């Protein structure tokens, strides 16, 4: 996922749950499941692969290439709950 501002090995809580499933039933949110939570731990911050962007205009000798590496965060999901 996109980089989170928290430190590594800290816990995070996401309140936006789109779908919840257990052994008995499935709950689909409209658009979110009410009182749904995802609990996890940040395991790593890292840079993604380089993305190249090129601009080109015909007949005017205009060419421009830029690139960047996006920052990502790995999150290990520990528990998904709906109260």
DSSP 27-81: EE-SSS-TTEEEEEEEEEEEE---EEEEEEETTTTEEEEEEE--EEEEEEEEEEE
Percent of the chain residues past pLDDT 90, beyond the cut: 67
Q: What is the pLDDT of residues 11-37, one digit of tens each?
A: 999 988 888 888 888 888 888 888 889
pLDDT of the residue at 34? 86
Cβ atoms of 83 and 35 closer than 8 Å? yes
Provide the residue ranges of all domains of the chain, joining segments of one domain with +: 11-82
For the segment 79-83, the average pLDDT, to the nearest whole number, is 86
Q: Model pTM greater than 0.75? A: no
Whole-number pLDDT of residue 68? 95
């Amino acid at each position: 996922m996109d980089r989170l501002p928290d430190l590594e090995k800290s816990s995070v809580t996401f309140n936006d749950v789109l779908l919840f499933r257990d052994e008995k039933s499935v709950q689909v949110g409209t658009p979110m499941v009410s009182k749904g939570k995802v609990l996890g731990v940040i395991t790593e911050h890292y840079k993604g692969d380089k993305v190249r962007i090129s601009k080109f205009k015909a007949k005017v000798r205009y060419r421009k290439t830029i690139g960047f590496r996006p920052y990502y965060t790995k999150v290990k999901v520990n528990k998904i709950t709906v109260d």
